[in-house]
A and B are shown apart, each in its own frame.
Chain A
Amino acid sequence: MSRRRILRTFMHNRLAVLGLIVLTGFVCCAVFAQWVAPYDPLEMDLGNKFLPPGSEGHLLGTDNFGRDFLSRLIFGSRISLSVGLVVVSIAMVIGTSLGLIAGYFGGFPDIVVMRLVEIFYSFPFLVLAVAVMAVLGPSLYNVMLVLGIVSWPIYARLVRGQVLTLREETFVEAARAVGASNSRILFRHILPNSSSPIIVTAAMQVASAILSVAALGFLGLGAQPPTPEWGAMLNEGKRFMRNAPHLITIPGLAIMLVVLSLNFIGDALRDALDPRLRGIEGQ
């Protein structure tokens, strides 16, 4: 499919375009946080605690330490988005490599990788992540590492399937006939041809990674206060929700908007890049 056609299919989906606009807004906030945020996200002002949204000088109010909530939210977008990307990158690199090896070479490597995939799949995802976090100790760095390591199987299974079908294609046979090495066939022929489903899956996985990061933060196992991570902010704010409900409504809304945008974009990407994937989400 031509690039223009892909773009047209994508832009035709109004929700995806809306998602793209919202996401771009968050990305800009994340990148230019120092300039966009009106205050330092860690600066306390104990004289102005729990100001409601719309207060003078504090558009989204202040939290239990009088910190400007908008600034914390803006710096939080930096954490959520970058951690989501790192998690998916780690998982994608591990999963894709193992999937390529399993699919291309078959035999023993295939059995080992697929057994590993099965074992990882038999753990409820978040349960395993929480157990490992318990051992490594709570920190944002560990969150990235753990979520990355725990979520690779989806890519391994996907890539393996792709390789198994592509391996028999004529162009791979031709490449082999002219004496191309295994790595050349894998990286120049097979991988580029299986990139669409990988990209689509990755887009969706960034969304679920952001949700998982926030969940761990909320359980107190991720970013630690005073880091303005959205999940951790919710965890801090829940004690004051009766008197200052904006401390829980606003960060949750931010998480939802980002995840929703990513999901809309992922959906449209799938329709544009790889219509065959339609209808198998959640497997």
Chain B
Amino acid sequence: MTTYLVRRGVIALFTLFCISFIVFAIVSLAPGDPIQIMLATERITPELASRIRTYYGLDEPWYIQYGIYLNHLLHGNLGYSLTTRNPVAASIARCLPNTILLTIASMLVALAIAIPLGTISALRRNSLVDYVSLTVAMIGVSMPNFWLGLLLILYFGLQLKILPVFGIGRLSNGLWDVISHLILPAITLGTSMAGLLTRLTRSTLLDVLTVDYVRTARAKGLHEAAVIYKHVFRNALIPIVTVAGLQFGALLGGAMIVETVFAWPGMGRLAVQAVQQRDYPVIQGTTLVFAASFMLVILLVDLLYVFIDPRIRYE
């Protein structure tokens, strides 16, 4: 287990290194340097300009610049926003918890829809219920999430006026304030994932339902609920957890859009605003943190296997 962890850790570090290079390269290929971009919106003194030049090593060749970037990175310094001048790391630290809250809530929404629906579908295979839930799942996958978000705003926010449609709640206003702000974005973000996971739950359960130990369990007169719960479900969990983990990346990408629709003060909205303002250090920082958190989730999923399935040992 320890050797496995170390190996995974080394690979993760290497990948992170490559990611940092790609993120650095993308922005280096951009036309214009930070000073020109800042000059477009405000006046900066020549002294400040030359200080920025030395800080980022803008007069040096690219590999020195990358070295400086890496050095800053290792000190937890993600640079400074070109528009607000604030440290990028601080902005991200402020937004990241909101994004985590939103993605976890969406994941829960997705699982709460997908697992019951997929299970019923598999148990009542080729019935009307199965047919309907598969079609609904497909619609969920095919719906653009920003559109679903707009429709929810239109109906629940503007027509019924029962749920807030902008921003995030404060815990100081009570728990309901937080939850009510969370409902619509979480449904919006969770829907496409729910569709995918419903289909997966169904097909995985169908596979497991036909294996020998399930037949044995039934043959020995075990209660159907116990068969499903103890034998089928636990074995079907691995593919579901895997895909849920892999889909976390899609969730993060979707968070950019959903956060923009609902003015949710998360990292996605930060990234989109930075892109619109060509605020390169913020783009670099958010992309890097997005990729790193995705990597972390994948790693966690791998470790989770050990708990789900005791047969798995990483030696």
The answer to whether B150 and A124 have CB atoms under 8 Å apart is no
Known: A119-B22, A122-B15, A221-B275. A135 touches B249 (CB 8 A): no
Known: A125-B253, A211-B144, A218-B257. A131 touches B138 (CB 8 A): no
Binds B, one of A89-97, A166-174, A187-195, A275-283: A275-283
Chain A interface size band reads 35 or more
**Is B187 interfacial (CB 8 A cutoff)?**
no
The answer to whether B275 and A133 have CB atoms under 8 Å apart is yes
Contact partners of A127 in chain B: CB under 8 A: 249, 252-253, 256, 271, 286-287, 290-291
Q: Which of B20-58 contact A (CB under 8 A)?
A: 22-23, 26-27, 29-30
The answer to whether B272 and A219 have CB atoms under 8 Å apart is yes
CA of A84 to CA of B199, assembled, Å: 24
Query: Which label, helix, strand, loop or mixed, suits the secondary structure of the A interface?
Result: helix
The answer to whether A260 and B142 have CB atoms under 8 Å apart is yes
Known: A122-B295, A130-B256, A248-B150. A263 touches B250 (CB 8 A): no
Q: A252 is contacted by which of B147, B260, B291, B298 (Cβ under 8 Å)?
A: B147
Q: How far is the CB of A181 from chain B (nearest CB, A)?
A: 35
The answer to whether A123 and B294 have CB atoms under 8 Å apart is yes
**Is A182 interfacial (CB 8 A cutoff)?**
no
- Digitize A244-274: 1 where CB-to-B-CB distance is under 8 Å, 0 elsewhere: 0100110110011001100110010000000
CA of A264 to CA of B199, assembled, Å: 13
The answer to whether A234 and B283 have CB atoms under 8 Å apart is no
Q: A259 is contacted by which of B142, B150, B158, B252 (Cβ under 8 Å)?
A: B142
**Is B200 interfacial (CB 8 A cutoff)?**
yes
**Is B276 interfacial (CB 8 A cutoff)?**
yes
**Is A177 interfacial (CB 8 A cutoff)?**
no
Q: How far is the CB of B253 from chain A (nearest CB, A)?
A: 3
CA of A127 to CA of B143, assembled, Å: 19
Contact partners of A215 in chain B: CB under 8 A: 144, 146, 257
The answer to whether A124 and B196 have CB atoms under 8 Å apart is no
- Digitize A112-132: 1 where CB-to-B-CB distance is under 8 Å, 0 elsewhere: 000100110111111110111
Known: A134-B274, A215-B146, A248-B147. A124 touches B200 (CB 8 A): no
Contact partners of A134 in chain B: CB under 8 A: 30, 274-275, 278, 280, 283
**Is A4 interfacial (CB 8 A cutoff)?**
no
Chain A, residue nearest B207 (CB):
A279
CA of A23 to CA of B135, assembled, Å: 17
CA of A133 to CA of B275, assembled, Å: 8
- Digitize B132-152: 1 where CB-to-A-CB distance is under 8 Å, 0 elsewhere: 000100110111101110110
The answer to whether A279 and B203 have CB atoms under 8 Å apart is yes
Contact partners of A259 in chain B: CB under 8 A: 142-144
The answer to whether A125 and B250 have CB atoms under 8 Å apart is yes
Chain A, residue nearest B193 (CB):
A282
Q: How far is the CB of B56 from chain A (nearest CB, A)?
A: 16
Q: How far is the CB of B269 from chain A (nearest CB, A)?
A: 10
Interface centre among A118, A122, A248, A267 (most CB of B within 10 A): A122
The answer to whether B139 and A256 have CB atoms under 8 Å apart is yes
CA of A259 to CA of B139, assembled, Å: 9
- Digitize B234-255: 1 where CB-to-A-CB distance is under 8 Å, 0 elsewhere: 0000000011001111111110
**Is B226 interfacial (CB 8 A cutoff)?**
no
Contact partners of A238 in chain B: CB under 8 A: 150
The answer to whether A234 and B146 have CB atoms under 8 Å apart is yes
CA of A264 to CA of B18, assembled, Å: 38
